[in-house]
Amino acid sequence: MEIKGQEDATFLAQQVASGAVSADELLDAALERVAALNPQLNAVVLIQEQAARKTIKAGLPDGPFKGVPFLIKDLSAEAIDFPTHSGSNLMRDTKYSYDSEIFRRMRATGVVTFGRTTSPEGGIGPVTEAAVYGGPTRNPWDVTRTSGGSSGGSGAAVAAGIVPMAHGSDGGGSVRIPASSCGLFGFKATRARFPDGPASGEGWGGMAIDGFLSRSVRDNAAMMDACTGPEQGAPYAAPAMEMTYAQAIKRPPRRLRIAVCDTTFTGAAIDPACKTAVDKTAKILEDLGHHVTPDCPKADHEGMMHAWTKIVVCGTALWIQNVATARGEVAKQGDLQGVARGAAKFAQTISGADYLKAVNTVHAYGRQMAAAFDDYDIILSATLAEPPAKVGRFHHDREDFENYRVGPGGVFEYSPFCATFNASGQPAATVPMHWTEGGLPVGVHVAAPFGQDATLIALCAELEQAAPWAHRKPSMVT
């Protein structure tokens, strides 16, 4: 069987099951693509081929992706066989003595994990340009552009056809930003849908969650079903779903009330290509019989982002402190890049009361966003306010972290939509619905009320059927 790099994981697993191809042959093909494409992309790191071969030889679990090559993000997803840099020289070649629960569940699907994908230091930022990897991670659609962040390596690897699906995580858009930038499907589930343990009970005050970047909706659905549910001792859990993700995508959703926002949520203009993507998608949804109304959610979006920023810098400072404690020494010159150093410095100005105030602001924002769905089932917007940024625009060598995030020309202006739903905990997804004249992918963003993951993914599947994207590929994917 010839592997072209456009197949989704479900199809490849079917081919393994039929005997048309073996897990070792799929791994061979993935490694060949790494050798051919990774020098241009800098997306796949810390390859552990022997661990992957050993897993195959030992016998793979009979899961939905048995034999399919897979990559995990180089951030969290702790695994004994997969050392990590976590995007930072501070943690270069760190080894774990345990497997995280999310990794255990991914492994049980039968995937063959063979390495990690690049991430920015500490998961900060909408780009992946970590010094520990020797350079930026680039977009397969245009190598002068970013693949996004913080799951930027996963986005580039899937878009380039190295693997059909990869692990990511999302604390402010870190699955959806690279999925949009790379022409992929990315889904952020309702808060606490997946386990965080045993290393922690929650990430960034409950705003971060694991997720997946995929070529197809069905792959994402099956992987999320395999990972759903809290682990023993979790501090809280997401509400039970009315049906599984895989069941939801097999039936069209009811006709939905959809609010369409073709500006930022604060009313600022977005790039014409992003507006075109929103307008085009709104028309498709209207033609499908959904009830489409121009509107934007009313909430304290700017206040939320300032609070989000304080929570994230405190989380970053804690991460640096924990690593230093484990090493028995403080971070030294060269261990950290500017953005992480700036976050740690900013955290020193935030008191315990300031932190709790930020948490309360985010919780209040969650109530505001819950009310925004009183009259709607779905909120539709662009995923980013612009097409993928040029490499270097959001580099990590600056220390003015607050300005980097919320200042003029900062991250919030570039990505004003995604963090909304990390703060609210509501499910949200990016769907690749448009490409610019220059061939850059532009995602549209859809979000649903808390716990309504099934409704949201059913709508995504309906969009996939109405406007398929699987035939699209970067020119480097032959």
Average pLDDT value over all residues in the chain: 97
Is it the case that residue 478 has pLDDT exceeding 80?
A: no
Chain center to CA of 403: 23
Q: What residue ranges do the domains of the chain occupy?
A: 9-466
**Sign of the CA dihedral 123, 412, 195, 350?**
positive
- Say which of 88, 119, 147, 150 is annotated catalytic: 150
Active site residue 475: no
pLDDT in tens, 50-91: 999 999 999 999 999 999 999 999 999 999 999 999 999 999
pLDDT at res. 477: 87
Is it the case that residue 380 has pLDDT exceeding 90?
A: yes
Q: State whether CATH 3.90.1300.10 applies to domain 9-466.
A: yes
Verdict on whether the full-model pTM lies above 0.95: yes
Active site residue 181: no
- Say which of 119, 151, 174, 415 is annotated catalytic: 174
Task: Read off the pLDDT of each residue in 185-190 and give the average, rounded to a whole number.
Answer: 98
Q: Is residue 130 a contact partner of residue 119, using CB atoms and an 8 Å limit?
A: yes
Q: Residue for token digits 């009330």?
A: 257
Is it the case that residue 332 has pLDDT exceeding 90?
A: no
Active site residue 174: yes
- Say which of 66, 73, 310, 473 is annotated catalytic: 73
